[in-house]
Amino acid sequence: MSVGKAIPHESAEGHVTGGALYTDDLVTRYPGCLHAWPVQVLHARATVDAMRVEPALAVPGVVTVLTAADVIGENNTGVARRDEVLFDTEVHYWGQAVAWVLGETEEAAKMGALAVELDVTPGDAILGIEAAIAAESFHTEPGQIARGDVAAAMKAAPRTLSGELFVGGQEHFYLETHAAIASVDEAGSVLVQSSTQHPTETQEIVARVLARPKNQVVVQSLRMGGAFGGKEVQANPIAAVAALGCVKTSRPVRVRLDRARDFAISGKRHPFLGRYEIGFDDTGRVLAFDLELWSDGGYSLDLSAPVFHRALFHADNAYHLRDVRVRGRVCKTNACSHTAFRGFGGPQGMVMIEDALDAVARALRVPPHVVRARNFYQPGDTTHYEQEVSQADRITRIWDDLKRSSEFDARWAEVARFNEAHPNEKRGLAITPVKFGISFTAKHFNQAGALVLVYKDGSVQVNHGGTEMGQGLHTKMQQVAAQALGVPLERVRVMPTRTDKVPNTSATAASSGSDLNGAAIQAACETIAERLREVAGRMLAIDPGELEIADGVVARADGQGEALPFAEVVERAYLDRVQLSATGFYRTPRIHFDEAAGRGRPFHYFAYGAAACEVEVDRFTGMYAIRRVDILHDVGDSLSPLVDLGQVEGGFMQGVGWLTQEELWWAPDGRLGTVNASTYKLPTVGELPEELHVRLLPKATEPGVVYGSKAVGEPPFMLAISVREALRQAVSAFGEAPSSVPLASPATAEQVFWAIERVTGAEERRAAE
Amino acid sequence: MASELRFTLNGAPVSADGADPNTTLLGWLRARGLTGSKEGCAEGECGACAVLFVREGPDGQTRYTPVNGCLVLLGACAGQEVLTVEGLADGELHPVQRAMVELGGSQCGYCTPGFVVSLFAEYYRRGRAEEGFDLESIAGNLCRCTGYRPIRDAGRGLPMVDDADPRRARLGAPAPAVEAFTLEGATEGGRRFFRPATLAEATAIYARHPDARLVCGGTDLVVEINQRLSRFETILSLEGVAELRAFDDAEDALTIGAAVPLSEIEERLDGALPILEELLPLFSSRLIRNRATLGGNLATASPIGDSPPVLLALDAEVIAVSAEGERSIPIDALFTGYRQTSLRPGELIARVRIPKPFPTVGRFFKVSKRVHDDISCVAAGFALSIEDGVVQRARLAYGGVAATPARAKAAEAALEGKPWSRAAVDEAKAQLAGAFTPMTDQRGSAAYRAAMVPSLLEKLWAETEAR
């Protein structure tokens, strides 16, 4: 069996030796390659009145300055809407690039960019959600999903409360910043090496700015040093600049942002503001939930609409909300354009209901985990958009199992005893569930293609539309192909993703990479395997239906009789003029959604999980440590357990960063003050809890998905909500059973300190002084 | 013209003759096609560029010292022996690489070379056998994919070094010395890099080139090169000056040379001064501490430097030296304004003298978003000399609450001569109110910083009272 085996990442040896190449590592393979550097405007809103490039051209080594005049086709890289002018005279956010200097060396390009002179007239910027609401600056019309009569249910509810929560954004901080190298081949067609999650769209945008048909542009995504959604659309303009530079100069052009410029220019996870009212009974059962959300989309639409929609879809998390209304809009502000990021709005929606349930529990003086469990979906329930919650029983199954394995109840008592004895340090314990819908909500993205090539020696190349960003997609695809063809893993090579192998692909996103591409590869491999069984049947003079191909051997399924080596059958097939390559195609069945009605079945299935977390907080500083985390997560029948474990753990820790210390700080003038690792703090190994127990849910076959597996990329991210809830629990212990524990997000030490000040009344005393 | 720049790279001699002295080792490696080392941040915070130097440690033994390649000026490599990730596998994967592969320690793989380099140095660290795996060894490497658990497990599970290991054999021979070296770049304008070997030479060069920028580990200056795109005409490296690398624990004082890397101070202290030992692990990361120095941390005079509050609390003196001679500056008089010092033109910091006896109570508190590898929002160095329950001398020093690191002198006075008691702490807290007017920035709000000033004193009280 290849599928289900715990194997290292297919490029692991390349990773550890430095031999694995990334886009920017290819530079020295392009002799004469020019280097690009952006000319940035340091205002959040401005008009460029004049630009003088002559001083830059005087810098030794500067070759040219790319401006709007160099755009052959359309000077716009917008995808959802034509709202991203590549070379613009209007400045929409601090640090926007308005021109690019090309130099013989990176040094020359940098010095050239500093030399370009700009006359700019600063304008009034709209900074942040509140300012956008006040100015009525929106990208989208109001959207809504509702069920029942929320107003009546709220009125009838024995108790209600309301809350407001702002959740900050998050920088992707893929270790590899945006990069592209464009060159022209002997036929004059443009090849762009791009660190992109969506080669097809990058191809489309390059073709658009060059005014060429797509068959004149090839995009290759070799592998990415992390992406997390940040390279789903935002790789496009980078590739477009490289391509334009290349066509202008007839030399290869490399564009690579350094961290500070990547931070300033590229979009992030959307900040969200939520205001809710929740109605409930004395047992904590939710009777009505009314949530209004606003997201900060930044200056252009980008993927903000589907991100916002996913927040609406996930405002229920794992809870049955009978009368419910979730609605809101995407704000248009003078910030970089916020974009896809692991979870894609789901986390922002889910954190709202978790915030509200904690408030309900505190109002009732009931432990929050009791209120949570009381509201779980039960089999047969439907979501607020009226999709049946498939395998809803897993929510309770996971919850109960995790509570047992984490010794939750005993530790709940232990934490209480600790807190009794320690006035200045308090511990908090919390458990939270995750339910996450799998599929692109844009229906047409739910398709994939593959091209499988078997060579005469029996070795195999697999091409598919998915990109490798570290998530182990190629590893899984290698396993799927080996399994479906019946050959050993080492006979299968997964090729770099190229638009000239598989056309019209979808972004590798929405956790769907292995579901979609795996199914397409499986189909292609089964086509070939079917042909080979027929060949072998002729060779052995038996019914091909009795034959099985496994581990590189073709033999009768019952093990009787003669066995033929795979390569021998392949050789025979070639001589018999049997086709040894095949394409495969897959489209997700039975999904649909009516946006106007807010009804449908947008998701193929749901992924589930839960996490229990314990923290300890210092009263004097608000600083804290995560002491222990237990996770149980549903990945179906794992295609690749080591890869899946890595996704669960890594997703969790990334979520921890989002909710705790990764604070994006914008100065009052719209400048992002956190533009590098010295100011923006992702978790280090120091934040990894000493005790981390992660398990994959056993016996979890998902029918209708490749080898019974489930998507894993995004869902574990939201397990980190348990950390935020544990912090609130610890903060509450500093007070006298406070009736609410507001905690800003991210919960930096400072915000935890203020939360403690609030529950102890110190804040009021301070204000009185 | 001195333009020859030679060193050993992965066992083979290489030359970087005529390079601009502002060039970093990482930039040079990557331009040569050695792309295993990655640029993740170009400011020494992510470790993706980590490389190894073969250096002599304070124990006199040769060791592999991991550093951030993005912060090493090429001139600092002159005569040195450098290993990159490409040079670690010896026909087959190194045990460190094997462990990372097998445990799933890489996902996207971009940070992986840096982790492998850090783990490689840890693998050969003498003392690992007794002390076990040092988590600090990888605290300066950021990974965005794995969540670190498999990497931590890889480190903890590393086997002991095999006797026949050729990499270990290298450690049996002396490391290259840091010798005098001069580079005059081939670039237009002829930018210069000086690395003298004696203090007399250093002060003489500084007198000749008063506009020279001083550098030692480069962990601050090279950030300026990378991030602000500053380019320096003359760089004077103090790394090779023997007098600046002295460490002397005498009866009346502990004296630390300005160019002693912080890691070396950690190692040499050996329990001598707990407050300093509390500070050092919180001072950035191992990759930085292997290069950063006290002299640099003081001379940059950042209000959020980590060592000033502690040195202020300890009443340290800074010995400055120039071609004209030496003078002592009480550390309290060193910081004159935002990133300004009372050092005169041509003067450099030679050493820091910490007088004895050390205070009976010494604590360092650092408030930051992240415990490891972060820059302070607020830092405090507290030192109390308590005799028979009475505070004889109090020093309350803060960073991050003013334009310079500063003492809260009125609060100190409120404590001195009083019993170390609730009442005295309350009086001191009253004096702390409004003592500083901090500002808001990305590390914290003014209100939070202001709140931390008394709160950290309260924390000191809670923790000393509890004892």
Neighbours of B422 (CB within 10 A): 10
- Strand B361-367 vs strand A179-184: parallel, antiparallel, or unpaired? unpaired
Preceding peptide of B21 cis, ω within 30°? no
Q: Report pLDDT for B186.
A: 64
For chain B, what percentages of helix, strand and coil (3-state, to nearest 5) are there?
Answer: 35, 25, 45
pLDDT for the residue numbered A194? 98
Residue A149 scores a pLDDT above 90? yes
Residues B124-145 as b/e (b if ≥16 CB within 10 A, e otherwise) read bbeebeeeebebbbbbbbbbbb
Averaged pLDDT for residues B26-48 = 97
The verdict on whether omega for the bond into residue A602 sits within 30 degrees of 0, i.e. cis, is: no
- When pLDDT is cut at 50, 70 and 90, the band that residue B467 belongs to is low
Cα nearest neighbour of A693 on chain B: B149
Whether A677 sits inside 8 A of B365 (CB atoms) is no
Pick from B73, B83, B79: nearest CA to B52: B83
CB contact under 8 A, B148 and A653: yes
Strand duo A323-331 + A286-296: pairing: parallel
The answer to the question of residue B197 being in a domain is no
Name which residue leads in pLDDT, A572 or B464.
A572
The per-residue pLDDT for A705 is 97
Token reading at B25: 């080792």
Does the structure show a pLDDT above 60 at A95?
yes
The domain that holds B22 is classified in CATH as 3.10.20.30
Instruction: Determine contact, residues A266/A77, Cβ cutoff 8 Å.
Output: no
CB B331 within 8 A of CB B312: yes
* Mean of pLDDT over chain B: 95
Same domain, residue pair B173 and B140: yes
At B184, is the pLDDT very low, low, confident or very high (cuts 50, 70, 90)? confident
Cβ of B149 within 8 Å of Cβ of A649? The answer is yes
Reported as a pLDDT band with limits 50, 70 and 90, residue B3 is: confident
Instruction: Please check whether residue A567 is in contact with residue A460, taking contact to mean a CB–CB distance below 8 angstroms.
Output: no
Find residue A435's DSSP bridge partners.
Answer: A608
Which amino acid type is present at position B347? E
Contact assignment for B110 to A753 by CB distance below 8 Å:
no
Structure tokens belonging to residue B44? 């020494």
In a domain, B384, yes or no: yes
Question: Are B345 and B305 in the same domain?
Answer: yes
B173 and B247 co-located in one domain: no
- For B145, the closest chain A residue by CA position comes to A650
The tens digit of pLDDT for each residue in B373-411 reads: 889 999 999 999 999 999 999 999 999 999 999 999 999
And the tokens for B209? 């080139």
Is pLDDT of A767 > 80?
no
Is 70 exceeded by the pLDDT of residue B187? no
Q: How many CB atoms lie within 10 A of CB A29?
A: 14
Note the pLDDT tens digit of each residue in A464-482: 999 999 999 999 999 999 9
Q: Chain-wide mean pLDDT for chain A? A: 97
Alpha carbons B454 and B467: distance in angstroms, whole number: 20
Residue B71 and residue B168 share a domain: yes
For residue A725, indicate whether it is catalytic.
Answer: no
Better pLDDT: B271 or B232: B232
* Spatial separation of the C-alpha atoms in residues A179 and A104, rounded to whole Å: 17
From the list B55, B62, B105, the residue with the least C-alpha distance to B81 is B55
Contact predicate B283/B371, CB 8 Å: no
Domain match, B253 and B166 both: no
Residue B412 belongs to domain with CATH number: 3.30.390.50
Q: Complex ipTM, two decimals? A: 0.98
For residues A278 and A286, the answer to whether their CB atoms sit within 8 Å is yes
Cβ-proximal residues to B437 (8 Å cutoff; 6+ apart), any chain: B402, B446, B450
Q: How far is A544 from chain B (nearest CA, A)?
A: 39
Asked if B71 and B113 sit in the same domain, the reply is: yes
Whether residue B237 is contained in a domain is answered as no
Instruction: Say yes or no: B388 and B345 in one domain.
Output: no
The rounded distance, in Å, linking the Cα atoms of A77 and A89 is: 15
Q: Token match 């490389």: residue?
A: B51
The confidence score (pLDDT) of residue B1 equals 45
Judgement on whether residues B375 and B460 belong to the same structural domain of the protein: yes
Tens-place pLDDT, residues A721-751: 999 999 999 999 999 999 999 999 999 999 9
Q: How far is CA B458 from the centre of its chain?
A: 29
B354-364 mean pLDDT:
96
Say whether both B347 and B452 belong to one domain: no
The span from the CA of A574 to the CA of A567, in Å, is 11
Give a yes or no: residue B320 inside a domain. yes
Last residue of a domain, one of B160, B178, B196: B178
Which of the four pLDDT bands, split at 50, 70 and 90, describes residue A764?
A: confident
Structure tokens at A10: 């297919």
- Helix ranges, A126-211 (H): 129-135, 150-156, 199-210
* Interior/surface letters B158-188, b for 16+ CB within 10 angstroms, e for the rest: beebeeebebeebbeeebbebeebbbbbebe
User: Measured between CA atoms, how close is A745 to chain B, in angstroms?
Assistant: 13
The distance of B37 to chain A (nearest Cα, Å) reads 7
d(CA B52, CA B122): 11
Residue B227 corresponds to which tokens in the numbers above?
């991030």
Residue of A nearest to B87 (CA): A17
> Phi and psi for A71 in degrees, rounded to 5?
-80, 120
User: Among B343, B353, B425, B352, which Cα is nearest to B384's?
Assistant: B425
Q: How far apart are CA A136 and CA A334, in angstroms?
A: 13
What's the domain count of chain B? Answer: 3
Residue B18's pLDDT is what? 84
Q: What are phi and psi of B248, to 5 degrees?
A: -130, 115
The pLDDT assigned to B359 comes to: 96
Q: Is there a single domain that holds both residue B430 and residue B287?
A: no
Residues A636-651: pLDDT tens digits?
999 999 999 999 999 9
At residue A720, does pLDDT exceed 50? yes
Q: Where are the alpha helices (DSSP H) in A181-293?
A: 199-210, 236-249, 259-265
The pLDDT of A168-175, averaged and rounded, is 98
Let me know if residue B219 belongs to a domain.
no
Interface of A with B in 655-674 (CB under 8 A): 661, 663, 665, 673-674
Tokens 């021979």 sit at which residue? Answer: B173
Give the domain-ending residue among B140, B163, B178: B178
A748 in reach of chain B (CB within 8 A): yes
Element (H, E) at A624: strand A624-633
pLDDT, tens only, B39-97: 999 999 999 999 999 999 999 999 999 999 999 999 999 999 999 999 999 889 999 99
Expressed as residue numbers, the domain containing B291 is 242-355
Does position A373 have pLDDT exceeding 80, yes or no?
yes
Cα(B431)–Cα(B433) distance, rounded to whole angstroms? 5
DSSP state of B261: B
Interface test with B, best of A11, A13, A15, A33 (most B CBs within 10 A): A15
Marked catalytic residue, from A292, A534, A714, A725? A714
Residue A466: its H or E element: none
B236 assigned to some structural domain:
no
Question: d(Cα B171, Cα B179) in Å, to the nearest integer?
Answer: 20
Using a CB–CB cutoff of 8 Å, tell me whether A545 touches chain B: no
> What is the C-alpha separation between B147 and B152, in angstroms, rounded?
10
- Averaged pLDDT for residues B156-178: 96
Give the separation between CA B430 and CA B423, rounded to whole angstroms: 11
Final residue of a structural domain among B178, B203, B227: B178
Q: Show residues of chain A in contact with B458, CB under 8 Å.
A: 620
Instruction: Give the pLDDT confidence of A590-637 residue by residue, as tens digits.
Output: 999 999 999 999 999 999 999 999 999 999 999 999 999 999 999 999
Tokens coding A646: 């890595």
| B429 in the same domain as B311 | no
**Given CB atoms, is A259 within the 8 Å cutoff of chain B?**
yes
Q: What is the DSSP string of A631-671?
A: EEE--BS-S-HHHHHHHHHHHHHHHHHHHTT----B-TTS-
Residue B339 is given by DSSP the state: T
Q: Is A756 on the interface with B (CB under 8 A)?
A: no
Residue B26 lies in a domain: yes
Token pair in block for residue A242: 């490289």
The verdict on residue B201 lying in a domain is: no
Does residue B466 carry a pLDDT above 70? Answer: no
Q: Is B419 found in the same domain as B297?
A: no
